[in-house]
Chains A and B, each alone.
Chain A
């Protein structure tokens, strides 16, 4: 019974730790040691509350989040959200391919070989192949993200230190720290995942009677996300931070691990990055094309033929091709792209969350399954906190000079 509905939460949780996530956690670990690990606790709570709302909305209405936003918020807001999401997701997909390129470079393969090949494989898989099978394979592969546990343990982390810094982190609040904190929260709770989560719940045909199992699925997914994030941070903190190594990308972490923790640790780190990137590089453009079409009323879905859903497949192909092209562009400002897509994510997240929380409290839509007060408190306080942090981040550079 559980196996049959196992899925949405766990898949979403796995996609969550994508190349962008791994990069952010690695950089945070290398830069701040154990001092930012505490951010995973509020992230975990917020992630769980949001996914629960998504699942409940999907189960009760049987409609996608894009559908609901379009039907209740009007065209203009929908347009704003989805143009933003489209741009951010092209940036995010680029980050995924950067992950593919980076991880393969650790193994000595040029990005001019790895990225086009992976791009074509992904495209063929979705357009010509069987995506459902691919998803299951990826899900099994995503277990390999647990390799970060090995990576972390090989660095002989100091557990006492970790415990201490979770309770009393030693950080100075400045704009760099703030960017990092927002980055961690933003990458853990990416806006597009809310849409993805809700669609998966609907596709599974879940019922409110199965709510208990859905919750287990969500909790398992969230725990997995946070545990993997925790070990990535620990791996980078205990190996890199203590030696004062500064990194910019996830692949730097893999390379830096080599002399410190040995070849295996480095290889394992790169392998995890590769799997995570390729998984998300498949799902992200697909999900984006799907909910953009859903919102604007074009036919969408991988069970449709190209001639039946031309907008869907064109959009999917364009997103994928753009991302590949940007990566292969010599001297492309990858760090800038990744930063800007994070910023757009951070701006969109509160907007999407506000839409969500208004929808989930609407009696006409949800009937008796509207939010309980406690969910609303957590929901609204996270939204306010996120908006506050985003604003602070946008405003801070102005005062720097």
Chain B
């Protein structure tokens, strides 16, 4: 029983399609596959859902029954029982193999990079035809140019071999929908499994419309993380191309100082619209940060801090942290403030962890902490951080009220940025 035929998409293109009585119905110009899978198996090998055929200059979207593909060397004979025309809207959750995959860039999820598709490997079994892998190697390229056989022959004479490289379908993500009006669906996107910096690198290399498509497919949390990792002008491009509502939602998820950085680079009108749209609490913070010139510490400080009263017990503080589930950065240093919100001491995570639950903060806190003023010059920070081995430096206003903190990552970023522009 030989019901399994593997074939290449590039060779299928342009093939005539016959009906049961050997009449030519048209030639294949593109193939629809399901893009929104219902289960894992469908995601691993999307089924051919329909074909676009060309009959005398006219393009028709069709569905078929009992598709058969027979190979004669490199030529294929495609036959089906019957065809019927359908509206293209029927495939609204599908994608086109030629328009969206072949010759386009796709994301290689395991390799965490963009690759270009030279061909698509497909398989036909009794209940339908499926796309199973993309060919991104030299072999596929030579096959497309039509010199695969001759080059292979020559290379073989020299005892070499032409490298072939396939990536299985469940290890790729199509991202180029620029010539088709469909959106990357959120639930299926495998991009979620990648680290935010990898997604950012990929977005930076994509064409403009794909950048927005890919970014929009991320959920808010991921989107915020990715946005943070993008280069300055890419951040601006993304924010400008999102709707105000969506952009505001993403910015709210970011640390206020990062959001302020981005908003600072936008046009005034757009920036104002975003600030209006954001929740008041967040936008007030951002506005405050925007007031600082780029040379002052205030411009990179984070206003999210954990501050406590010195009479609190360690167990209560830990409980509070457990409930709030703050970002890692917030745990770099805890601050003790008095009734007027003035900074009086700091407590480290270490001290908190090794203390008995009933210990009061004032017993373990370090008084007279190192701190900087919000209007101090940025340049002074690196020295302080390295001299006192700090992960986060408290920032205070002139009247000693705690304004926020600067974490070491942001200082590094500032330093690297400066070196790059030099």
Contact = CB atoms under 8 A, between A and B. Distances in A.
A63 B179 CA distance: 14
Given A75-B141, A297-B105, 5 more contacts: A61-B207, A74-B103, A75-B103, A297-B118, A297-B141
A80 to B, nearest CB: 9
Nearest to A297: B116
Interface string A69-105: 0110011100100000000000000000000000000
B164 to A, nearest CB: 14
A7 interface: no
B115 interface: yes
Given A74-B103, A76-B145, A365 B178 contact: yes
Nearest to B118: A297
Contact of B113 (A62, A67, A75, A299): A299
Contact of A207 (B115, B116, B179, B237): B237
Given A60-B208, A296-B116, A76 B144 contact: yes
Contact of A62 (B104, B145, B207, B231): B207
Interface in B125-150: 136, 141, 144-146
A139 B339 CA distance: 60
Nearest to B267: A209
Interface string A30-71: 000000000000000000000000000000111100010011
B233 interface: yes
A364 interface: yes
B237 A205 contact: yes
B144 A75 contact: yes
Contact of A70 (B103, B136, B178): B103
Nearest 8 CB-CB pairs, A to B? A297-B116, A62-B208, A205-B233, A75-B144, A63-B207, A364-B179, A62-B207, A79-B145
Contacts of A75: 103, 118, 141, 144-145
Contacts of B144: 75-76
Interface residues of B, number: 25
A297 B146 contact: no
Interface string A199-215: 00000010100000000
In this complex, the member of A61, A62, A207 whose beta carbon has the largest number of chain B beta carbons within 10 angstroms is A62
Contacts of B234: 205
A76 B116 contact: no
B401 interface: no
A67 B136 CA distance: 15
A111 B306 CA distance: 69
A77 to B, nearest CB: 10
Contacts of A296: 116, 141
Given A61-B208, A62-B211, A205-B237, A297 B115 contact: yes
B206 interface: yes
Contacts of B231: 205
A67 B145 contact: no
A299 B206 CA distance: 13
Contacts of A79: 145
Given A70-B103, A74-B103, A76-B146, A62 B206 contact: yes
Interface string A361-398: 00011000000000000000000000000000000000
In this complex, the member of B115, B207, B237 whose beta carbon has the largest number of chain A beta carbons within 10 angstroms is B207
Interface in B333-350: none
A296 B144 CA distance: 11
A76 B105 CA distance: 18
B104 A71 contact: yes
Interface of A: 60-63, 67, 70-71, 74-76, 79, 205, 207, 296-297, 299, 364-365
Nearest to B233: A205
A62 to B, nearest CB: 3
Contacts of A76: 144-146
Contacts of B118: 75, 297
B237 A67 contact: no
A79 B207 CA distance: 22
A310 B234 CA distance: 27
Nearest to B143: A75
B95 to A, nearest CB: 15
Contacts of A299: 113
A257 B274 CA distance: 65
A62 B234 CA distance: 11
B65 to A, nearest CB: 31
15 contacts: A61-B209, A62-B208, A62-B209, A67-B105, A70-B103, A75-B141, A75-B145, A76-B146, A205-B231, A205-B233, A205-B234, A205-B237, A297-B105, A297-B116, A364-B178
Nearest to B211: A62
Nearest to A209: B267
A355 to B, nearest CB: 14
Nearest to B234: A205
Nearest to B179: A364
Nearest to B137: A297
Nearest to B115: A297
A202 to B, nearest CB: 9
A247 to B, nearest CB: 42
A299 B112 CA distance: 12
A71 B207 CA distance: 12
A70 B141 contact: no
A166 B207 CA distance: 44
Contacts of A61: 178, 207-209
A67 B207 CA distance: 9
Contacts of B237: 205, 207
Contacts of B136: 297
A131 to B, nearest CB: 14
B233 A365 contact: no
B119 to A, nearest CB: 9
B217 to A, nearest CB: 17
A304 to B, nearest CB: 10
A87 B347 CA distance: 67
Nearest to A296: B141
A308 B234 CA distance: 23
Interface string B192-236: 000000000000001111010000000000000000000101100
A371 B144 CA distance: 31
Contacts of B115: 297
Interface string B102-126: 0111000000010111100000000
B97 to A, nearest CB: 14
Contacts of B117: 297
A62 B136 CA distance: 22
Nearest to B116: A297
Contacts of A70: 103, 116
A61 B207 CA distance: 6
A297 B136 CA distance: 8
A321 B136 CA distance: 28
A76 B118 CA distance: 12
